[in-house]
Amino acid sequence: MKFSLSSTRSDPSSRVPPPLDLLPPGHGDVRLIRRPVAGVPGGRRRSCRGALKFIIMKDFMKLYHQREIQLLVLLSFTLQMFLFFTGSLRRRNTNVFLRVSIWTAYLGADFTAVYALGYLSRHDDIQRQMSGGTQPLAFFWASFLLIHLGGQDSIAAFSMADNNLWLRHLLNLVVQVVLAAYVFWKSPARHSAELLVSGVLVFVAGVIKYGERTLSLKCGRFKSLESSTGDHYKKRFPELNDSDHDYSKVVLDALHSMLNVHNVFAARNPFVNGPESSSPVVVARDTVQGTKKMLKVVELELAIMYDDLYTKALVLRTRIGMILRCTSHACSLLAFALFLTCDKRRYNGVDVAITYSLFIGGFFLDLSAVFIFIIDIGWPEKRPRWSNSIGQYNLLNWVSGGDQPRSYNQKVVALVRRLSSLVGVGKEDLFWLSKTLDTEYVEADEKTMEFVVKGISSLSNEVSEQQQWQNLGPLLKKIRVCFVADMGCAIVVMHIFTQVYLDTVEAAAAGDEGGGDGDDMVEVCRKLSNYMMYLFVNHPSMLPLNASSEATVVEFAKSREELSRTQQGSKMTLDELYNIIQQNKDGVSREGTMEEMYKMILEEDVQPSWGAVEEMAAMWLRFLIFAAGRSNGKVHAAELASGGELITFAWLLMAREGLGESERRRVRLTSTISSILSADSAGAAADLKEAYAFFFN
- My answer on whether 15 and 137 are in the same domain is no
Per-residue pLDDT for 292 more than 80?
yes
The CA distances from residue 361 to 199, 331, 521, in Å, are: 17, 16, 52
State the DSSP code for 118.
H
Asked which of 620, 647, 674 is the last residue of a domain, the reply is 647
Do 458 and 587 fall into the same domain? yes
Task: Tell me whether residue 110 is in a domain.
Answer: yes
Query: Among 75-79, 98-102, 314-318, where is mean pLDDT lowest?
Result: 314-318
pLDDT (0 to 100) of residue 252: 82
**Lowest model confidence (mean pLDDT) among 111-125, 325-339, 490-504, 662-676:** 662-676
Question: 514 to each of 311, 448, 510, how far by Cα in Å?
Answer: 48, 20, 10
Does one domain contain both 92 and 50? no
Question: Residue 227: is its pLDDT beyond 70?
Answer: yes
Q: Do residues 477 and 573 share a domain? A: yes
Tell which wins on pLDDT, 228 or 271: 228
| Element holding 33 (H helix, E strand) | strand 32-34
Mean pLDDT of 143-161: 94
| Average pLDDT, integer, range 224-245 | 63
Query: In this structure, is residue 665 part of a structural domain?
Result: no
- 693 found inside a domain: no
> pLDDT at position 311, please?
93
* 211 pLDDT above the threshold of 80: yes
Same domain, 33 and 150: no
Task: Give pLDDT, residue 374.
Answer: 73
Mark which of 333, 364, 382 sits at the end of a domain.
382
Angle between the 517-538 and 487-508 helix axes, to the nearest 10 degrees? Answer: 150
Looking at residue 160, its pLDDT comes to 93
Of the three residues 632, 647, 662, the one that is the final residue of a domain is 647
Residue 516 reports pLDDT greater than 70: no
Q: Report pTM.
A: 0.81
pLDDT mean over 220-246: 67
Q: Measured between alpha carbons, how far is 426 from 417 in angstroms, rounded to an integer?
A: 8
pLDDT digits (tens, 9 = 90+) for 577-627: 334 334 434 433 444 556 666 666 666 667 778 888 998 999 999 999 999
**pLDDT attached to residue 327:** 96
- 402: pLDDT strictly greater than 70: no
pLDDT value of position 223: 86
Question: Which pLDDT does position 657 carry in this prediction?
Answer: 84
Q: How far is CA 41 from CA 7, 53, 200, 264, 495, in A?
A: 19, 20, 65, 81, 72
* Mean pLDDT estimate for the chain: 76
Q: Are 114 and 200 within one domain?
A: yes
Number of independent structural domains in the chain: 3
Angle (CA) 59 62 66, round 5°: 140
The answer, yes or no, to whether residue 567 has pLDDT greater than 60, is: no
Q: Is the pLDDT assigned to residue 104 strictly greater than 50?
A: yes
Lowest mean pLDDT among 69-73, 344-348, 625-629: 344-348
Query: Is 686 a domain residue?
Result: no
Could you tell me what percent of the chain has a pLDDT over 70? 64
| Per-residue model confidence (pLDDT) at position 662 | 65
* Structural domain range at position 37: 5-55
At 16, is the pLDDT very low, low, confident or very high (cuts 50, 70, 90)? very low
Q: What confidence category does residue 515 fall into, taking pLDDT thresholds of 50, 70 and 90? A: low
461 and 519 both lie in a single domain: yes
pLDDT at 240: 59
The beta-strand segments (E) located in 334-407 are 389-392
The verdict on 117 and 174 lying in the same domain is: yes
Indicate whether 184 pLDDT > 60.
Answer: yes
pLDDT band at 464 (very low <50, low <70, confident <90, very high): very low
104 domain residue, yes or no: yes
Q: What are phi and psi of 691, to 5 degrees?
A: -110, 145
Q: Tell me, what's the pLDDT at 476?
A: 82
Kindly tell me if the per-residue pLDDT of 282 is higher than 50.
Answer: no
Highest-confidence range of 136-140, 218-222, 256-260, 660-664, by mean pLDDT?
218-222
Residues 462 and 337 in one domain: no
**DSSP, res 191:** -
Spatial separation of the C-alpha atoms in residues 145 and 358, rounded to whole Å? 10
Q: Is residue 259 part of a domain?
A: no
Residue 544 has pLDDT above 90, yes or no: no
4-8, 86-90, 355-359, 395-399: range with highest mean pLDDT: 355-359
686, amino acid identity: A
Give yes or no for residue 651 having a pLDDT over 60: yes
pLDDT exceeds cutoff 90 at 107: yes
pLDDT of residue 664: 66
DSSP codes of every residue in 660-689: STTSSEEEEEEGGGTTTTTTTTTTS-TT-E
Average pLDDT rounded to a whole number, residues 565-575? 41
> What angle separates helix 590-603 from helix 549-565, to the nearest 10 degrees?
50
Question: Are 367 and 510 in a shared domain?
Answer: no
**Based on the domain organization, do 371 and 465 belong to the same domain?**
no
Judged against a pLDDT cut of 70, whether residue 290 lies above it is answered with yes
Is residue 419 in some structural domain?
Answer: no
Mean per-residue pLDDT, 129-139: 61
pLDDT at 20: 43
Query: Has residue 549 been placed in a domain?
Result: yes
34 in the same domain as 97: no
